[in-house]
Every structure is written in structure tokens, then in C-alpha cells.
Amino acid sequence: MGLDFSVLPPFYGTLALGVLWTIAITAASAVLSFFGGILLAVIALYAPMAIRLPFRFVAWLFMGTPLLLQLFLIYFGLVQIGIDLPAFVAGVIGLGFHFAVYNSELIQTAMIAVDKGQMEAARTLGLSRRQALIKVVVPQAVRDVIPPIGNNMIALLKDSALVSVIGVSELTLSAQRAIGQTYRAFEFYAAAAVLYYIINLGMEAVLRWFENRNRLYR
Amino acid sequence: MSQAFVEIRHAQKSYGQLEVLKDISLNVDRGQIVAIIGPSGSGKSTLLRAINDLDPLTGGEIWLDGVQVNKALPHRQYEKHINQMRQEIGMVFQHFNLFPHLTVRENVTMAPKLLKKISDKEANALAEEQLDHVGMLERIDYYPAQLSGGQKQRVAIARALAMKPKLMLFDEATSALDPELVEEVNLVMKKLAQEHMTMIIVTHEMDFAASVCDRVLFMDQGVVVEEGPPEQVFKNPTQERTRNFLRKHLEGAK
């Protein structure tokens, strides 16, 4: 039995919907992981011990256990304690926090690397430490780590396939559903792979745009 | 008791066993310009940075215009108090410390917009006024990375002046500049002197100190060794240590 790509066209609609869900869950998780990463970095560097330690423990949990397990816990586990999240929301929370922890490591390093004179200059003008962090330190740190955060976001896109297991109809699950009806695994998985690659190219273009926008200040 | 505009009373600072400021007192009147000179490690920058509490003293008091800067207050209240005080004390650093992610205009307007809640229009007018004052108006939409050292320092001065401070502190403002760029910054400082801005200047430039300042302090090893009008300190120093320092400095300049 050879390959026959003519099985694809009837499922274009299914795959297109999968692409849209993949983009939606990746975008929502990326935004959560970005701002969550900043928040975690600020907490890790500046919060009092009593706040810092529990956060460090949670961060360690997210880093030290499989993402797949985290998604199962959030979607199937939390129901038992009365938190019934829609699959999409559970997926965004799982992916978002998982990558927030990785982003936070990058942002922390960059915040430490921001010249001490920057904080001093801001404080000298009368800004509070919090204002100085928001207006001066964090923006510089974030600009310095856009390329490595971009790498994390590409990993996030690929890991978004994992949310198929909790029933979000993203690209991988859409391909599986098509295969379920046609028994044509190679054709549909190959089509999904090509589509992931195309989304990836789009993401890289967005990242390059962000990088270029920040080039002037160096 | 009548008070000087800026008063440093028995300033003392130590890091563990190391005493870097040993009981220093200094009065500066409104509109006066005081230069602090001395070898590196003499404590002159530490003293300057104590005035706006960047390097808090371990003993002694700092007063500005009748208000104690380093007042003993509970942490939260102190933060509020010191942020208020710092708005009235401008500071210029050796390495400029401009905000590289902001344009020249934004560098100048950020603090007034944030702290004085002025409108965008007022902020723009303020930026234009202050940048014009230091001759940097035509670079208003540049980023710091596109400026020379002298231009950066002039913007840094405009940024400090935009808060309308009562007192300006200069921490070796020209030490990091190429020699040919020093003059443009000195000219701005001279202009401020003519406008009777109260200034305390830590500097290595004796000529500049002699031509601009009302009073010169020579510090060494955490104490004020000699203090007086520039003619006296530079031409007829009474202390051996001052003479040695000035001689070495003169040889170094040749």
C-alpha cells in the first residue's frame, strides 16, 4: 500500500481548524509565559524570603516534572478538588507556567546583568525601587533576552502538541482524528509536520521583527 | 539656630572595621558651589553619595533646606521620604547612566511624568527647554548609544535638571570623557553656576574647580584635611598633605 496524498483535501477544513487552535493555544501560553516569567524573575530576585521560597518550590516542580504529567494533573487532577477547567484553559495554564519558569531563569540572569548604575540613576531621580524595576531594569533585561525567549517560544509551539492528550482539538489531535477515519497515518502526520513548520516560520518572522525593533538602542 | 542650605553634621561611615568617613561636617549656602578634591579612596565620592542616601551613613545627619534627608523613620515611611528628598537632589554620574532603552526625550521626561504627573504636552515642553539649555535639543529623538560621551553627560544633566532640584551633585562628571569632550560639559556646569544653582562637585580637575567654585575641600583618608576658597587651597595650602597631593597631581597632568 503506497502513499496517496489525495486523502488530504477532504480534511483541509479539519486541519485548518487544528492550525487555528494550535496558534491560539501557543499565543495565549506565550503571553502567559512571558509576563509570568517577568513576575517570577522579580519575585526570585526581590521578594522577601517568605514569598520567594514557596515560589521557588513551585518553579522547581514545574521544571523537574514532565509537562505531560503537569497537563494531566491540571486537567484531570484538579477536578477532584472542585476546579473543573475547560481543556483549552488547562492547556494554557500548563504550557504557560511551564515556560514561564524557563523564561524567568533567562530574565533573572539578564536583570542581574543590567548595570547597577541604572537602578542608581532611577532612584536618584526619586523613583521607588518598584518604579525603577518596572521602568528601567525590566525593560532592558527583557530586550536583552528576546532571542533566547524566542527559542523557548518555538519549543512551546512544538510542545503544544501535548495538549492533544487532554482533548484540545489542535493540529496533532486533528490529524489523529483524520487518521482515525482514513487509516492514513503517514499522509496526515506528514501534513501536520509541514503545517507546524509553516507556523514556526511565521513565529520566527514575528521574533525577528521584535529583535529589529530593539536594535536602535544598542 | 540658623541653618545652612545644605548641612552635613558629623558624617561617619564605616564598612565593618574600615572607616571611610570620619566625622565630617560641611555647610553649603544656597547658590554656593563647593568642590571636593582628594586622592582616590579618600572618601569624597562616598560623602557625595551619602548626601542623597545612595550610600547611607552609619552616623551623622544630612540636612537640605531645613529638612533632614537621612531621617530615622520606619522602613516604608523612610522610602516615601527619601524618594521625595531625592526629587530635590539632582545627581550626575561619572558613567552617565542614561537609560539606553529610552530616547533622549524620554530620558528627560520619564521621572517628571511619573512623579509629578505632568501631561505629555508639558513633559515635551520641559524636555525641549532642558535640552536646549544644555545644547542638546537637536538630538532629542536620538538614543543614548548614538551620542558621544560629552553629549551623553549633557543629556544626563538635563535629565537631573528636569526635576527642578534644589541641589546638584556631580560625581566626577568629566572623568570618563575623552579630553576633547570635557570642555562642553564644563561649559554647561559653568552656566549652571552663573544661574546660582547650588552644587557639590567631586572632581579631579583642579583648573575647573579653581575657576568655578566658591570653596574647595581637600579630603584624605576619610577626613577633611583642608578647606577654603580656591585661591587659598590651591595657591597657599596650609597642610603638608594638601601640598603633596597638589604637587603629585600637577606632575601627573604634565
- A179-205 pLDDT, tens digit per residue, is 999 999 999 999 999 999 999 999 999
Query: What structural domains and CATH numbers belong to chain B?
Result: 6-251 (3.40.50.300)
Q: What count of residues does chain A have?
A: 218
Q: List the single residue in B with minimal CA-CA distance to A116.
A: B97
Asked casually if ipTM beats, i.e. exceeds, 0.85, the reply is: yes
Q: List the single residue in B with minimal CA-CA distance to A142.
A: B101
Residue B79 with chain A: CB contacts under 8 Å: 128-129
Residue A183 corresponds to which amino acid?
Answer: Y
Position A138 scores a pLDDT of 95
User: How many of the other CB atoms lie within 10 Å of CB of A189?
Assistant: 15
> Are residues B3 and B66 in contact, defined by beta-carbon separation less than 8 angstroms?
yes
Cβ–Cβ gap B114/A127 under 8 Å: yes
Residue B126 corresponds to which amino acid?
Answer: L
State which H helix or E strand residue B18 sits in.
strand B18-28
Strands B59-64 and B6-15: antiparallel
Cβ–Cβ gap B111/A127 under 8 Å: yes
Could you tell me the three cell numbers for A142? 527583557
Residue B99 with chain A: CB contacts under 8 Å: 118, 121-122, 136, 140
Could you tell me the three cell numbers for B173? 562628571
Q: Which of B101, B143, B163 sits opposite A125 (nearest CB)?
A: B163
Å from B101 to nearest chain A CA?
A: 6
State which H helix or E strand residue A86 sits in.
none
Give domain limits for chain A. 5-213
Position B254 scores a pLDDT of 52
Helix/strand/coil percent split, chain A, to 5: 85, 0, 15
Task: Please name which of B206, B250, B241, B205 lies closest in space to residue B220, comparing C-alpha atoms.
Answer: B241
Query: Alpha carbon of B215 to those of A191, B4, B218, B239: distances in Å?
Result: 80, 15, 10, 16
Position A218 scores a pLDDT of 58
> Are residues A32 and A103 in contact, defined by beta-carbon separation less than 8 angstroms?
no
pLDDT tens digits, one per residue of A150-186: 999 999 999 999 999 999 999 999 999 999 999 999 9
Q: Which residues of chain B have pLDDT under 50?
A: none
Position A211 scores a pLDDT of 85
Mutate to test the interface with B, among A125, A131, A217 (most CBs of B within 10 A): A125
Q: Which residues of chain A have pLDDT under 70?
A: 1, 216-218
Position B251 scores a pLDDT of 79
Cα–Cα dist B47/B66, whole Å: 19
Strands B33-37 and B18-28: unpaired
Residue A156 corresponds to which amino acid?
Answer: L
Domain A5-213 has CATH 1.10.3720.10: yes
Could you tell me the three cell numbers for B220? 584624605
Q: Which of A117, A126, A217 sits opposite B101 (nearest CB)?
A: A217
Å from A150 to nearest chain B CA?
A: 20
